[in-house]
Structure 1
Amino acid sequence: MKILYLVHQFFPEGYYGTEKFILNTVKMVQKNGNKVKVITYSLHNPDTFPTADAEILSKEYVYEGVPVLAFRHRNVPPDSHVHLQDEQVFAFAQTILARENPDLVHVGHPMRVAGFVQACMKLNIPYIVTITDFYLQCVRGIMLRPNQLLCEGPEEGRACETHCHIPGVRERLAAARSIMASARFLLAPSEFVAAMLQKEFQIPVQVIHHGMSYRKIKRNHRVYGHNDTITFFYGGSLTSHKGVHLIIEAAKQIDSNRMRIKIYGTGDPGYTEHIHRMAAADSRIEFCGKYTENDLSEIYQQVDAAIVPSIWYENYPLTLHEALASGIPALVSNVGGMAEKIKDGYNGYTFRLGDANALAARMKQLVSDPSLLNHFKANLSNFMIPTIEQEIYSYSRIYSSIV
């Protein structure tokens, strides 16, 4: 069968959780003998696109054996990341879908590519949607109000109008409902994300947990003594809702030279500059920049505990998957998809969301007695993250039931 995958950004331009999920899925489905192509939005310089006489520019390339079609507006609308309806993308999508003639479309993220979903509806092309975050029910995408308090849901738009003062949100929610209602299947990687969607839209959501490609995973078998130095690790996007500043605030409360912190990733320039300034006087904190999946085995041999300090619900970050599969315990905020996998005191620690003092207390426990990690690592040896093969088997059954 021929399957198209829609995602808001893709490698090498975008390389975080949803992009990894799509890349891993596409590679496995392609390996199983199916024709695949990723369709994605790009913010690259319009001069790098070969088409010259159109409002929608496009180009094709191959990434690690995966064919990709990238497109963009000639002049990107400032709110293109918000709207679920775009006539220019809709018209372009109909042309592309007619040309590609797919048996099925799998939506990995609808941001900026929702016009393709609407074109699927018009052309009667079946599609499924994997909900990897809260974008369809939240304009901000993260269920976090401007005052940094968690939101419990849009409440048919009332909460958005009251707390975020967003106009037109009811129409957007109607468009989101239409996208989900017309999908053959709605899927989510965590019970929490599924429950949030069902609460707002009363639409059934099936859970398929993200699988892990163990080919690039090497388990960390380090054993700790009471006086060892330990290295904490953060990997992911450097944006405010990811809570990296909490790690730096917590580090300031720990007066010990037996602690190191490695921060990997890139992101919002303003926020990145801010956390660099916060950490400037602390030589224990190292900013390591961009990393790829190929770097994972080496990185996880050099660190001892992962920190996922998100101040939003978080769906279920692949960084956490990778750490646990590598035998690395984790310290995570106590809400959302993260709390599904970390049992406090068993395979890591949870701490109160947004509370740097609570995070510092957990970090101090490990710095004071690193041998506590031995208990967590022993428990992780009995903790199995699903394989990518198991995940793709579940998706393949869904594909076959539709086509």
Structure 2
Amino acid sequence: MKILLVHNRYQQAGGEDNVVAAEAKLLAEHGQEVELWSVDNKDLPAGLKGKINTAITTTYSAASLAIAQDYLRTFKPAVVHVHNFFPQISPSIYDACMTQGVPVVQTLHNYRLICPGAMLMRDGKICEQCIAGSPYQAVRYGCYRGSKLGSLVVAHMVATHRKQGTWSTKVNRFIALTDFAKSKFIQAGFPLEKIAVKPNFLHDPYAGINRLARTNPAFGLFVGRISEEKGIKTLLSAWSGLAGHSVLKVAGSGPLEDLLQDETNIKALGRQNASDISQLMQQAAFLVLPSEWYEGFPLVLVEALAHGLPILASRLGSMADIIEDGKTGLFFTPGDANDLAEKAQWLLEHPEQVEELGENARRVFLEKYSSEQNYAELMAIYEAVQ
């Protein structure tokens, strides 16, 4: 099958880029013919004129339409899989596909199509006003990068295509990463029958090798962006209340990383590469994910499951679709530092139970999130739209 993948990279590389690369590699390894049309926001035109042009073309880009049509004529794909069109490619990609009679699959990596801020979050709290209400509410609050003008541009894109029925008539199948995410898009008016659920996946880090038993793991691990929506303040408050010398290792960077410097039992490691993260996951007692927004499907969760690492996470949004409380990890109340500290202390003091949770996590990974399972699910989606 010929498959055209379409992706607009953000200026700061993130999980979406990794998912696109992993799926492209997976498809190619199974003999599919894959072409990637990728643009990068690092190449956005600078200056006032460039910003104005980007703002105008975010809702619909004639230039991208022409490029898309050229890809379709020359490559002749059986299906086009759009991962992200914002802001350079724009929804014009859908019209190019309709003209050529090529079915479209769209992965919903975040909530951009129903929320200008993409996170269903405002002022550090969950916000669902734009799901059923006007997306122009985002302008009042500057939901897109704190900019009212930028929020107006994105809100116009969301509102225009909602009114035109783009999401219901021009996309053959959406891929939501969890059942929870699917429910939010259905609330926003997306057609139930067009949304499939397929999680992210990971190539098995232990493929062909034996997984070593953990030797006296004595620290918790956080991997991700050091920012407010990730629950960093709650995490720091919780860890300051833990007994003894319980260590938390933090891998990542972000706007709140300076808060880590004054904590004696927290080791700030900075940004780590994939190999370093894998080694940390083989040594840690558990991964802590204290997010206070509706996470999509962070790859760090799949990594933890693949490494047989239990997860201590906030009971929020998609987490309940991924983590099984008492089986592959534990939940705590979002934003509740005392509850987080209590659960972390229990995990650090019960290594045998933690080992059992880890074995369950590894088993769930092999059943649900392996590359082979994901390939079968992805191809079934492609074949269903033919």
Question: CA separation in 1, counterparts of 2:133 and 2:277?
Answer: 41
Q: CA deviation at 1:392?
A: 1.2
C-alpha contact 2:131 2:184 (8 A) present in aligned 1 = no
Q: Which has the higher helix share?
A: 2
Q: Who is 1:275 aligned against?
A: 257
Q: Who is 1:301 aligned against?
A: 282
Q: Who is 2:145 aligned against?
A: none
Classify the secondary structure of the residue corresponding to 1:38: strand
Q: Who is 2:65 aligned against?
A: 90
C-alpha contact 1:4 1:106 (8 A) present in aligned 2 = yes
**Residue 26 of structure 1 pairs with residue 24 of structure 2:** yes
Name structure 2 gaps, 5 residues minimum. 143-150
User: Taking structure 1 as reference, are residues 160 and 250 closer, same or farther at Cα in structure 2, changes over 3 Å only?
Assistant: farther
User: Taking structure 1 as reference, are residues 321 and 260 closer, same or farther at Cα in structure 2, changes over 3 Å only?
Assistant: same
Match of 1:211 among 201, 204, 209: 201
Identity over the aligned pairs, expressed in percent?
23
Give the aligned CA root-mean-square deviation in angstroms: 3.0
Classify the secondary structure of the residue corresponding to 1:281: coil
- Where do 1:194-233 residues align within 5 Å? 194-204=182-192, 205-215=195-205, 219=211, 221-222=213-214, 224=216, 230-233=218-221
C-alpha contact 2:218 2:247 (8 A) present in aligned 1 = yes
Question: CA separation in 1, counterparts of 2:62 and 2:5?
Answer: 20
Q: CA deviation at 1:283?
A: 3.5
Q: CA deviation at 1:191?
A: 0.5
C-alpha contact 1:232 1:305 (8 A) present in aligned 2 = yes
Deviates more, 1:232-241 or 1:289-298: 289-298
- Where do 1:8-19 residues align within 5 Å? 8-9=8-9, 15-19=13-17
Classify the secondary structure of the residue corresponding to 2:382: helix
- Where do 1:3-402 residues align within 5 Å? 3-9=3-9, 15-44=13-42, 72-73=44-45, 77=51, 83-112=58-87, 113-114=89-90, 115-145=92-122, 147-158=123-134, 161=137, 164=141, 167=152, 169=155, 172-175=158-161, 177-204=165-192, 205-215=195-205, 219=211, 221-222=213-214, 224=216, 230-257=218-245, 259-267=246-254, 271=255, 274-276=256-258, 278-380=259-361, 382-383=363-364, 384-402=367-385
Question: CA separation in 2, counterparts of 1:293 and 1:357?
Answer: 32
Name structure 1 gaps, 5 residues minimum. 47-71
- Counterpart code for 1:245: K
User: Taking structure 1 as reference, are residues 80 and 103 closer, same or farther at Cα in structure 2, changes over 3 Å only?
Assistant: farther
User: Taking structure 1 as reference, are residues 311 and 207 closer, same or farther at Cα in structure 2, changes over 3 Å only?
Assistant: same
**CA-to-aligned-CA distance 1:14-66 (integer Å, 9 cap, x gap):** 6533222222211121122222122223244x5xxxxxxxxxxxxxxxxxxxx
C-alpha contact 1:161 1:167 (8 A) present in aligned 2 = no
C-alpha contact 1:244 1:275 (8 A) present in aligned 2 = no
With normalisation by structure 1, the TM-score equals 0.79
- Counterpart code for 2:202: M
